[in-house]
Amino acid sequence: MTEVRLPENRIPVIRVPASPADANPGGSIFGGWIMSYVDVAGSIPALDRAQGPVVTRAVESFEFKQPVLIGDLISCYAKIISEGRTSIKVDVEVYAERRKGAVKQCIKVTEAVLVYVAIDGDHKPRALPAK
């Protein structure tokens, strides 16, 4: 297991603890629980860039590198890596902080790339506003 620190000089868009209700029978956290937070996390810089509503169009990659365990505090970091006329591609990294007594580990658990599309009032693609 690779131990790392939380990224310096970056602010997570979401931090949330993993609860027993989010666990599968094997004792680790459901992938779908993590995926939903990754989707929300990625949408935050996309909403900001689009200056209005966006929808998730595609998940280009999604890697569960390490399990998330009950009690972990997950932090999601999201950054725009490219954009087109209506679409915004966002990289999301998820880290878990895990306490064992006085010792705190930090583990990169998930990385994903998602594509969001800005939409208008008719749910049709909308050109991104000029920067």
Ligand X SMILES: CC(C)(COP(=O)(O)OP(=O)(O)OC[C@H]1O[C@@H](n2cnc3c(N)ncnc32)[C@H](O)[C@@H]1OP(=O)(O)O)[C@@H](O)C(=O)NCCC(=O)NCCS
Closer by beta carbon to ligand X, 104 or else 124:
124
Which residues contact ligand X (rule: CB under 6 A)? 55-58, 84-87, 115, 117, 119, 123-125
In the complex, what is the shortest distance from the CB of residue 32 to ligand X, in angstroms, rounded to a whole number?
Answer: 14
Strand extents, DSSP E, 65-102: 73-83, 87-100
**CA separation for the pair 28, 17 (Å, rounded):** 13
In the complex, what is the shortest distance from the CB of residue 101 to ligand X, in angstroms, rounded to a whole number?
Answer: 41
Residue nearest to ligand X (CB): 84
Burial tier of 119 (Cβ tally within 10 Å: 0-12, 13-18, 19+): middle
Q: How many CB atoms lie within 10 A of CB 116?
A: 26
Closer by beta carbon to ligand X, 59 or else 73:
59
In the complex, what is the shortest distance from the CB of residue 42 to ligand X, in angstroms, rounded to a whole number?
Answer: 11
In the complex, what is the shortest distance from the CB of residue 123 to ligand X, in angstroms, rounded to a whole number?
Answer: 6
Smallest CA-to-CA distance from 12 within 72, 76, 68, 74 is with: 76
